[in-house]
Amino acid sequence: MDSANIVVISGLLIGLVYGSVGLLSGFCLLSSLRGFWAEGDGRLVRSYALAIGVAVAMTQLLAAGGFVDIGKSIYLQPSFSVPVMFFGGLLFGYGMVLSNGCGSRALVLLGRGNLRSFVVVVVLAIFAQMTLKGLIAPSRIAMVGASQTTTTENSVPALLAGMGLSATAARMLAASIISAALIIFAFAHPAFRRSPGQIAAGLVIGLLVAAGWFATGYLGADDFNPVPVTSLTFIAPIADALQYVMLSTGSTLNFGIVTVFGVFAGSLATALLTGRFQLEGFQSPRHMLRSGGGAALMGAGGVMAFGCSIGQGLTGFSTLALASLIAFAGILVGTAAGLRGALRVRPLAAA
């Protein structure tokens, strides 16, 4: 079996596990922050923090061991636009609140029978393609060109190495401090320690991020048929998956596309096996408009930010890239704006 097929099979398996775990645990950045900021329930945000901590530790170990060259990923490019990354994150975060979930969560809910998520997935895919290659692309490219920065110190380890540490020492120091802080934050919460399901979800999803890097960066390493070094992310892959469904004869399956299919299939299978499958729709045309508008913001913003709450919040974060930290900060600020303050997204009955 050639390396490309190994990567495709790995992506499908990773997606299946993510879809199942996502459905059973409710793993979602929006739910995490809503519970933490608005409802006083800190368990989900601890699960997310644990996933990031595990992803950082395992990804940096893979990089330090020479198994994966994460420097080839899109997150550690020497040139990036700080304003566009942050603004894209803002759009994505606010759109996530409007749509009541991110792209990966929409795939999970679609597998459970939530037809609202079908609209979110399709609109997100359309606006992502528009921003990548379509009507919005020239504006995005112009904004990036006018504001991009070029630096060799494009990650936290690179910053530490610039202070005199060796590359390996800088990597391990940064990874140890950041992953330990996140894991301690997670387990310092008594209710989280009593939630084995949330602990398992955080551990498994963090490991899935590392598994994605290993699949594309090690198992897929082939000088004659290279594949992009990447892991879990859902904006461009959802757009590519929709295009593949429509034009499969002119497209090739890749890690991202099969991950999208796997998440849906894993959620669907789990929902059917556990009796969670139930068809659901919109409450009103206004509800549909809000969800579609949020999906449009997520599609466009996610492309500008080079990722979503998973693509930057977990996968990008695991590289400790400065661009990813900036994009994730934008996502958090955008989500906060949607949950609190003057721009808060209010329930439809009171909107």
- Sequence spans of domains, the chain: 3-350
Q: Report the share of the chain in percent with pLDDT over 90.
A: 88
pTM equals 0.95
The predicted-structure confidence for 81-114, as pLDDT tens digits, reads as follows 999 999 999 999 999 999 999 999 999 999 999 9
Residue 298 scores a pLDDT above 80 = yes
Using DSSP bridges, classify how beta strands 148-150 and 79-81 pair: parallel, antiparallel or unpaired. Answer: antiparallel
Residue 26 to residues 20, 109, 289, 294: CA-CA distances in angstroms? 10, 10, 24, 20
Categorize the per-residue pLDDT at 223 as very low, low, confident or very high, splitting at 50, 70 and 90: confident
Residue 222 has a pLDDT of 80
Q: How far is residue 49's CA from residue 88's CA, in Å, rounded to a whole number? A: 22
Average pLDDT value for the chain: 94
